[in-house]
């Protein structure tokens, strides 16, 4: 029975794969806690932009983020994201944050701070789904089940366009360029690059709808029941 799953599920992969919807769906099915680590890097980016700090100035970024109080919720239903007590759940999805977040998340001191916070949040839960880029490789190397979600780049751009209501082919091509640029940046950074963990199950969602991906991961979790007790 999937409800008997105990442990940590990591869900890593590039943007535009439907990772967040899938992670929330899996968490809801397993009655698990859910942590969106991308939301934490986005919240850190809000702090940097509000302090008028250049996102490429690593020292200033590190200082600014160290001084910020970043809070995220661990429920799968409502999104709670605050910086210094202020609700930024909407702002973190805006274009300015999306443009700057790769640079902020490449700063090692920022990663150390947020990874510590992620481990604290996760340790409080018996069953948890954690999504990001480096969860299976760095944050939770002993997780019970590791999934790496991919999809063909063209399909990812189409899905992102659908979410944003964009139909103009030139705008879709620009989205595809932006996805490529962020993948390149996230995969080639020195600290915790985006890559599948050696023991991750790679799930390709190119030809699956989101419900199909959720079912596939719930089935993987069911077959991992008991692994959490052994870990």
Beta partners for 146?
10
Alpha carbon 66 to chain centroid, angstroms: 21
Q: What are phi and psi of 101, to 5 degrees?
A: -70, -30
User: Residue 10, SS3?
Assistant: strand
Question: Which is closer to ligand DC, CB of 174 or CB of 225?
Answer: 174
With binding defined as CB under 6 A, does residue 132 bind ligand DC?
Answer: yes
Cα–Cα distances (Å) from 5 to 17, 93, 95, 162, 216, in that order, read 24, 32, 37, 33, 15
Question: Which is closer to ligand DC, CB of 135 or CB of 176?
Answer: 135
CB of 114 to ligand DC, least distance (A): 8
With binding defined as CB under 6 A, does residue 159 bind ligand DC?
Answer: no
Residue selected from 18, 172, 186, 228 as contacting ligand DC according to rule CB under 6 A: 186
Block residue for tokens 């709670």: 80
User: Residue 85, SS3?
Assistant: coil
With binding defined as CB under 6 A, does residue 5 bind ligand DC?
Answer: no
Rounded distance, CA 138 to CA 111, Å? Answer: 10
CB of 186 to ligand DC, least distance (A): 5
Residue selected from 15, 64, 76, 150 as contacting ligand DC according to rule CB under 6 A: 15
Residue ranges that bind ligand DC, judged by CB under 6 A = 15, 37-38, 41-42, 101-102, 105, 132-135, 182, 186
């Amino acid at each position: 029975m999937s409800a008997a799953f105990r442990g940590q599920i990591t869900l890593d992969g590039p943007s535009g794969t439907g990772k967040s919807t899938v992670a929330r769906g899996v968490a809801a099915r397993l009655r698990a806690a859910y942590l969106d680590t991308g939301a934490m890097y986005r919240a850190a980016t809000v702090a940097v932009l509000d302090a008028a700090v250049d996102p490429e100035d690593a020292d200033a970024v590190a200082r600014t983020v160290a001084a910020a109080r970043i809070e995220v919720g661990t429920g799968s239903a409502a999104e709670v994201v605050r910086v210094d007590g202020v609700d930024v759940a909407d702002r973190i999805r805006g274009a300015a944050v999306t443009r700057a977040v790769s640079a902020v998340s490449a700063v090692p001191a920022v990663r150390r701070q947020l990874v510590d916070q992620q481990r604290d949040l996760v340790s409080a839960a018996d069953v948890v789904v954690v999504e990001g880029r480096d969860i299976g490789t760095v944050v939770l190397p002993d997780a019970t089940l590791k999934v790496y979600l991919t999809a063909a780049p063209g399909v990812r751009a189409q899905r992102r366009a659908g979410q944003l209501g964009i139909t103009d082919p030139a705008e879709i091509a620009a989205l595809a360029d932006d996805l490529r640029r962020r993948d390149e940046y996230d995969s080639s950074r020195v600290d915790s690059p985006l890559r599948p963990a050696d023991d991750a199950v790679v799930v390709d969602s190119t030809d699956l709808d989101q419900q199909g991906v959720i079912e596939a991961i719930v089935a993987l979790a069911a077959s991992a029941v008991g692994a959490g007790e052994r870990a």
